[in-house]
Structure 1
């Protein structure tokens, strides 16, 4: 089957019918986002970065601990995806994860993912010549304690080769629900 493409070569030359065609093509692409996210998560299995477990296992442990801790589905998906940026953006991995999640999650979960790298530093920054209390710049913020708890309970203990994690497949339905096109559309363009 021949694919139909928009006719313009510059956006200024586009027409309403071009954008109708593009919108129809975008919906299936948007609906496939959870599959692309899960595929990218699978790539984390190929890198240990010197840690006791690979990056995927770390994410699975973090999400499993959050799930077992009674956190809601959105929080668990944030825990699963919090380090999705490790391979593509190692210096800004938390920002990449937060950008992916922003249109789909609450402001407090977005902030938690966005800031977790600094908060996680409390547990090791002093070993690499950085200020372990760097997170204190956010002390007093309404989501400081939430983010500190995420790192303490779920993120920082999740490097245990003996831990029995749930699988990526176990989390797939949650990812599909949280990153659904319907959820995005319900939140609106300002999400």
Structure 2
């Protein structure tokens, strides 16, 4: 079979959906590569006005996480925390979290999902926003993780002179994380 015959999903056969599932599984094995390609694309595309590109920010953030002894989930999440900035600038945090969700722990995903709000602590007052908006989550168990992520790895990673690791350092880690069984399958009997 080269392609399905149906024009509406409700008309598909079991054979067609099994065929599509096989192709989808093959496509999923290349997720890490597509994410790395997106990072590389961000070498030349960036938000104007910053001293470094999105790519450099990503690599610098991940380098800081790695040098702090973070595990694979944190390193990959830090590398990719702004991966959706170019296509979803108003909700890049939630979009990045959804990309990561099957493959990183829940606490790491929550941090990525909320990091943009937590980052406003550093600049919100200059724009007339509530710099303490993150306090709405002060009783959340992952509040401090998010504060620490922003302080140590995100807001501090806009330095064009920081000696970051090359992207090649992170590629095997990204591949390891995105090629393992998604978390929701790992915990099923």
Distance 1:7 1:102 in 2: 33
What TM-score, normalized by structure 2, do the two folds share?
0.94
Instruction: Report the equivalent of 1:41.
Output: 39
Which deviates the most, 142-151 or 168-177?
A: 168-177
Structure 1 residue 187 displacement after superposition: 3.0
Instruction: Report the equivalent of 2:6.
Output: 8
Instruction: Report the equivalent of 1:95.
Output: 94
Distance 2:43 2:124 in 1: 25
Structure 1 residue 49 displacement after superposition: 2.5
Distance 1:98 1:49 in 2: 24
Among candidates 185, 188, 191, match of residue 185 of structure 2: 188
Structure 2: 5+ residue runs without aligned partners?
Answer: none
Q: CA RMSD in A?
A: 1.7
Distance 2:48 2:109 in 1: 25
Distance 1:189 1:67 in 2: 25
Structure 1 residue 170 displacement after superposition: 1.3
Deviations 1:123-155 (A, max 9, x none): 111111111101001111000000000000111
Correspondence 1:24-35 to 2 at 5 A: 24-35=22-33
Structure 1 residue 166 displacement after superposition: 1.1
Instruction: Report the equivalent of 2:171.
Output: 172
Secondary structure in structure 2 of the residue aligned to 1:179: helix
